Structure 1
Amino acid sequence: MPFTNTSLSSISLLPRDILLEIFIWLSWSADNHADITQAPWVLGHVCRSWRDTIKSVKWLWSMVILRVHSYDRKVLRVLKHFLRRSDQSLFKIDLTFNEEASRKAIRSVFRKGVWELIELAQDLPELRFLDILIPSSDDEDDFDEEETFSIFSTAPRLTGEFHGDFYTTEELYRFVFKARHLDTLEVSFHYPASDPLVQPLTHSNLRRLVVLQSELAWMETFSFPHLEELEIFQHCPDCRIAKASVNELSALVERSMCKLQKFVLRAALPASTLIHILRSQSSLAELHITVNLANARDIFIAFTSSGFLPALMRLEIIEEYCSSQRFSVFMETHSEVFTMIRSRWAKTLGSRLRYLCLDISNARVKAVRKMVDFYSYDAIISEARARGLDIRLNCSGVFILDGQSQRSKICATG
C-alpha cells in the first residue's frame, strides 16, 4: 500500500535491527531483485538506514533490469551507476523495451551501441549476460538486428546464454562469427529449412547448443569442437526428423569430435543412427531420448553392450506407443528394458547409472500395469535400490512406480 510522509518518518525511527529485518523481508518478497522498480531498490527512498544497506551489498549491483520506454541519457547514467557500485563486476544487463517504445527509438539505441555500451565495455570485464527483449511488431523489416552483434567484440567475457530466431543460415553465420566468446546458444528458424553455406565455421568456445523446431541442414556449416551439451527439440506430431537432417546431426557430432556430457533428443531417430552417434560418446553422463516401438528394442539392446556409454549416470526415455501396435509387441519390447536395467550393474563393472526414468506415452495405464506385474517390476525395484539406482516408471505423465517407494496408488484405470 502507498506510504504517507508520516508513516515514512515513523519507519525511520525504528531500531536498526528491526529495520534490517523489515528490509530483508520486503526484499525477498520481490519477484526480481534486479528490477530497479521493485524492492529492495525502492526501499532506498524510505530511510537512510535502508539506503546504506543497499549501498553496502555489492552483489545487488552486479545485475540490472531496465524497462525502456524510449532512448534517453538517464538509462546510460543508471548503467554507469551500477557499474561503479559493483566494483566493476557488473555481469548481467537485461534491457526490456516497452511496447510503447517506437521502432525509431529502438534503432537509435543500437546505432549508439546499446546506450554506448561500446564505451562502457572497456569497464565491463565481467559482463557475461546481455538479454535484449524487443516487443513483436508488424513492421519486422523496419529493424535491423545486425546492430546488436557488435557488443560481442567489445565485452570480452560476454559468454552467457543467447536465444536467437533466425531467418537464414547466413544470418546465423554472421552472428556466430561475431559472438566468438559465447558458450550457450539457442537456435530456431522462422522457416522449416535453411540451406548450408559453402564456407564452414568453427566456434571453439561453444559449450551448449539448443535447437528448437528446425531442419538441421544448416549444421553442415558449423563445427563445435568443445561442445558438451546438445539439445534438440522437434515439435512435430510424429516426432520424426527428415532423413537429410538425421545425416547432418550425425555428421555434426563426428565433425566436431565433441565429447558430449549431456544429450537431449526429443525426436525419434532410426535406431542405427542414434546408436552410431552415442557409441563414441564415452564421456556422456546424461541422456534424454525419445523412442518408439519400431526402434526401442534395438536401442535397449545396445545399452546392454559392454562399454556402451560407460560414464552414463542419468537416463530418461520417452517412449511413444502407437495404439495400433499389438500388445504382444509392447510386452516383448519391454522384456529388453529389464534386461537393460540388470545389465547396467551385472555386466558393466563399476556402472555409474544412478537414475533411470521411463515415460510411456499414449499407452493405457492397464497395459502398463499388466506389463509391470508380468515382469515382476517390484523385484527389480528392490534390487535396484540395493545397488543405488533410482528407477521411475510413468505412463503419459501418470506416476506408476519409483525406486524410493512402494507401488503408487493411481486413480486412472485406463
Structure 2
Amino acid sequence: MKGIDTTTTCPNCAIALHSGNRDSDAHLPSFPRYLLETNDPPTYLETSEVQNALDESKAQILRLDNTITALQASLEKHRRLRQSAADQLRRGSIILSVVRRIPTDVLVEIFNLTVPDAARKHATNRCPWVLGRVCSRWRAISLALPELWTTIDRKIPLAMVKAHIDRSLPHPLTVELGFSDTGSVELLIACSARWAVADVEMRAFMGPALAKVQGRLPLLRRLRYNDNNGFRSFSAFENAPALRDVTLSGKASLHLPWSQLERLNMKVSDSVGLSQLRQAHNLVALSVTGRPYEQPQPGGIGLAFAPTVELPRLRTLLIKDGVFLRSLVLPALEDIYISMDISAVPSLVERSNCHLRIFTTDVQCSAADILAVLEHSPGLVQLRSSAVQDALALLTGMTVPPLSDANANAYARPLVPALRALLITGVGDAPACAQLVAMMESRRASTMCAEPVVCVLDFVKWAQLNLHAVETLRLLKQRGFHVEWLTGPQSLDRYRSWRPSYP
C-alpha cells in the first residue's frame, strides 16, 4: 500500500522536497523471512512477489540517483555562489583596510622612517625601491619625496645611483664611495656640492677623481674616511666649511680644517697625529686609539712623552690606551671611557681640574684603581665597570661608614655622593652580595648621598642566576631599591650599548 505523496519544490533550486511519507521512499520492499534464512525454492506466487519487489527497488534506486544528481548539481552551484560571496567579502575588506585608508601625510612620515634601510642585502629589495612595488599610490608618493632618495650606498649599481641623484634633488646627500665601478664615483663627485655626509672607502683608482671635490664641499658636515693604501696627506677635504664630525681609520692621513671640528675619531701614533690633534682645539667629543709619540730622554734614561695637548672644550673622551692621558689637559671633561690602563685618570683629573660625571672602563682593573678615580671625582653620577677584579673591595669602599667610626675611617666623607647609576660585574659570591646590600642601605641612610640605581652584569651565567644573586635581588627589590641583574646575552647587549654615544 502506497502513502500520500506531499512533494514540494525548493524555491531556490526547484528540487523536489518530500515533506510527507512515501512508501517507496520510506520503506524498502520486504521478502518472505524463511526464504532469506533457507535455501528452499520460492513458490510461483512468491517468485512473482519477489520480482515485483526487485522491480520496485530498481525504480527507487533510479529515482534516488536522479535526486542525488540534482542535489549534487545544486550543491556545486551553492558552493560557487558561496565562493563568489567570499571573494566579494575579501575585495570589500581590502577596500576598507586600514593600510589603504592611511592618509598621505601619515604615509609620508612612515616612508621617511624606512631609510636608510640596512636590513636587506639586495638593493632592489630595500627602501625606498621596494616601496614603489606595492601599488601605484605608494610609488607616486615615494617618487614625490626626494628626501627618501638621499642615501646612496656603495652596493647599488650605476643606474640606481643616477636615479637616487636625480630623485633626491635638491636635498643634501649621504653618500658612500668605494665602488668598483668608476662611473659611480664620477657621478657622485660631480654632485659633491650636495654632500652632507660622506663615507669614503679609499681605493687606488679614486685618488685623482676624489681630488676634484676640493673646494666643492659647502654642505659636508660629517666624514668617515678609511684608507688602507696610504694616500699620505690627502687634501681633498681641507676646505669644507661645515665639517664638524670626522672618523679616520686605516692609514688615513688628511689635511682637514682641524680647528672647526667638534667630534673626532682617529688614531694618534706619531708626532704628526699629535700635531693634528693639537690643532683641533674646539673638539667637544673625541675617540682616540694609539698613544702620543715617545722618544728617549736625553742621556737615554726612560721615555719622554710629547708636550701636553690642551683641549679646552672637550667634554666626552673614549680612549683606547690610558697612557695617552699623560699628554692631555682637559678642563671641561665630563665623560671618559677607557679600554686600557686607568692609572693615569686621577692625575688627569687633578691636572685638568675637571669634574667627571661619567666614568666607564672595560679593562681588567683592580678595585684600588677605580677607588682612586672616585676619590678625585666627587661629582661622578654614573660608574660603569665591566671587568673589576675585586667587586667586594670596590663595594666596601663605596659603603658609607657608621657615624661612630667617621673620625677614624678613611672614607668618612662618602665617595661619589652624587652617584645615581652603578653598573658593575663580579658580584656573585655571598660576601660580595652581602656587601652590595650593605652599600645600598648605607647610601640610602646617608643624608649626603643620592640613592643609586644598580645594574649587575653577569657575562658567565647564560641561564639562571646563582642562589646568592637570586636572594640578593629579591631582598633589594623587597626593600624598594631599583636594581637589575642581567645574565648572558642581556649583559652583552647592555655592555655594547655603552659605545654608540661616543664618536
Pair in the same fold by TM > 0.5: yes
Secondary structure in structure 2 of the residue aligned to 1:150:
coil
Equivalent-residue separation in structure 1 for 2:488 and 2:129 (angstroms): 45
- Specify whether residues 107 and 315 from structure 1 end up closer, same or farther in structure 2 by C-alpha distance, changes over 3 A only: farther
Which of residues 250, 265, 268 in structure 2 aligns to 1:163? 265
Q: CA deviation at 1:312?
A: 1.7
* Residue in 2 that maps onto 1:262: 358
Secondary structure in structure 2 of the residue aligned to 1:180:
coil
* Residue in 2 that maps onto 1:64: 174
* Residue in 2 that maps onto 1:88: none
- Specify whether residues 165 and 343 from structure 1 end up closer, same or farther in structure 2 by C-alpha distance, changes over 3 A only: same
- Conservation of the 8 A alpha-carbon contact between 2:378 and 2:416: yes
**Which has the larger displacement, 70-79 or 300-309?**
70-79
**Which has the larger displacement, 173-182 or 333-342?**
173-182
Residue 93 (structure 1) aligned with residue 185 (structure 2): no
Q: Percent identity?
A: 17
Q: CA deviation at 1:265?
A: 0.8
- Specify whether residues 74 and 43 from structure 1 end up closer, same or farther in structure 2 by C-alpha distance, changes over 3 A only: farther
- Specify whether residues 104 and 199 from structure 1 end up closer, same or farther in structure 2 by C-alpha distance, changes over 3 A only: farther
* Residue in 2 that maps onto 1:80: 193
Residue 172 (structure 1) aligned with residue 273 (structure 2): yes
Alpha carbon RMSD of aligned pairs, Å? 4.4
Equivalent-residue separation in structure 1 for 2:189 and 2:237 (angstroms): 19
Which of residues 207, 210, 218 in structure 1 aligns to 2:315? 207
Aligned positions of 1:244-263 closer than 5 A: 246-263=342-359
Number of equivalenced pairs: 328
* Residue in 1 that maps onto 2:333: 227
- Specify whether residues 397 and 344 from structure 1 end up closer, same or farther in structure 2 by C-alpha distance, changes over 3 A only: farther
Q: CA deviation at 1:203?
A: 1.1
* Residue in 2 that maps onto 1:408: none
Secondary structure in structure 2 of the residue aligned to 1:281:
coil
Aligned positions of 1:2-401 closer than 5 A: 27-32=112-117, 39-40=127-128, 50-54=142-146, 61=171, 64-69=174-179, 70=182, 74-81=187-194, 92-97=196-201, 102-106=203-207, 109=210, 111-112=211-212, 115-116=213-214, 118-121=215-218, 124=219, 128-134=221-227, 136=228, 140=229, 142-144=230-232, 147=235, 150=238, 154-155=241-242, 157-158=244-245, 159=261, 161-166=263-268, 168-189=269-290, 197-212=305-320, 214=321, 216-234=322-340, 241=341, 246-290=342-386, 292=388, 295-305=390-400, 306-319=413-426, 330-349=429-448, 351-353=450-452, 355-362=453-460, 368-370=466-468, 372-373=470-471, 377-384=473-480, 389-395=481-487
- Specify whether residues 283 and 40 from structure 1 end up closer, same or farther in structure 2 by C-alpha distance, changes over 3 A only: farther
Equivalent-residue separation in structure 2 for 1:266 and 1:311 (angstroms): 22
* Residue in 2 that maps onto 1:9: none
- Conservation of the 8 A alpha-carbon contact between 1:357 and 1:391: yes
- Conservation of the 8 A alpha-carbon contact between 2:473 and 2:485: no
The residue identity in structure 2 corresponding to 1:224 is L
**Higher Cα Rg, which structure:** 2
- Conservation of the 8 A alpha-carbon contact between 1:260 and 1:283: yes
Equivalent-residue separation in structure 2 for 1:148 and 1:189 (angstroms): 25
- Conservation of the 8 A alpha-carbon contact between 1:292 and 1:320: no
The residue identity in structure 1 corresponding to 2:445 is A
- Conservation of the 8 A alpha-carbon contact between 1:165 and 1:187: yes
Equivalent-residue separation in structure 2 for 1:197 and 1:285 (angstroms): 32
- Conservation of the 8 A alpha-carbon contact between 1:229 and 1:263: yes
Q: CA deviation at 1:62?
A: 5.1
The residue identity in structure 2 corresponding to 1:150 is E
Q: CA deviation at 1:348?
A: 4.0
- Specify whether residues 55 and 273 from structure 1 end up closer, same or farther in structure 2 by C-alpha distance, changes over 3 A only: closer
* Residue in 1 that maps onto 2:76: none
Equivalent-residue separation in structure 1 for 2:110 and 2:442 (angstroms): 52
- Conservation of the 8 A alpha-carbon contact between 1:186 and 1:211: yes
Any unmatched runs of 5+ in structure 2? 1-99, 152-167, 246-260, 296-302, 401-412, 492-503
- Conservation of the 8 A alpha-carbon contact between 1:271 and 1:298: yes
- Conservation of the 8 A alpha-carbon contact between 1:300 and 1:340: yes
- Conservation of the 8 A alpha-carbon contact between 1:204 and 1:224: yes
The residue identity in structure 2 corresponding to 1:346 is A
Secondary structure in structure 2 of the residue aligned to 1:103:
coil
- Conservation of the 8 A alpha-carbon contact between 1:180 and 1:205: yes
- Specify whether residues 391 and 200 from structure 1 end up closer, same or farther in structure 2 by C-alpha distance, changes over 3 A only: same
Any unmatched runs of 5+ in structure 1? 1-14, 83-91, 235-240, 322-329, 400-414
TM-score, scaled to structure 1: 0.63
Which has the bigger relative contact order, CA under 8 A and spacing at least 6? 1
Secondary structure in structure 1 of the residue aligned to 2:305:
coil
Equivalent-residue separation in structure 2 for 1:39 and 1:362 (angstroms): 39
